[in-house]
Structure 1
Amino acid sequence: MADIFGMLIFSRGGAFFPGFTLSAFVSGFLYGIILYQKKITIKRCFFAVLTVVISTSLVLNTIWLVIITNKAAFVILSARIVKDLIMLPIQTFVIYYLWRAIEATVKSTLIFNKTF
């Protein structure tokens, strides 16, 4: 919804392409399926990021870029593979450590609120 409303409100002459909105939805959906109400581990975070990278970045977004730019998929895909291989461990650790920090903060807040 933020993608659609953002385009409607802050459009600066750019074109709206719904494929990227679908990719954003699929990414959030996959993260939700894999991580929601489960113990967050490095393995689970890695699997979630890997699933999202393969399904959205390498498949869906490459298709959308081929449609938009009329360039060969191999040209687009080769650069995306390099980028995703670099970002895979970074995204995994960021999600894992942010989750742990947020979880610790929420637990301490709940414990603090129960004492009053």
Structure 2
Amino acid sequence: EGQVHGGVAQGLGQAMLERVVYDSDGQLLTASFMDYALPRANGVPMIGFTSEPVPSTQNPMGMKGCGEAGTVGALAAVANAVQDAVWDCGVRQVDMPFTPLRVWEVLRDVSDAAE
């Protein structure tokens, strides 16, 4: 469960927050956690899930890893949700991270283009 919860938090962070920024001289501006957005517990929704265990046949304990499961699903879910939310406004592509500023900018740009 912990691996899935951590993977979902990581995926949400990548989809909505994390962005490496350089200035015009190539200086990294997001070099510390003070400058680089990461998901925190108070920004991640409660996650409930069920599992259907299928033991591995490749080892005696039947164990499998699942750390990537939450990450991959979170990225796809957020990307599809954002695209669905802006589609009727005429936006056909939004790139990650889906920060509030980026979503606002693409909505503003499509609105300006329609005028």
Same fold (TM over 0.5): no
Give the TM-score of the pair, scaled to structure 1.
Answer: 0.26
Relative to total residues, which structure has the larger helix share, 1 or 2? 1
RCO higher in structure (CA 8 A, sep ≥6)? 2
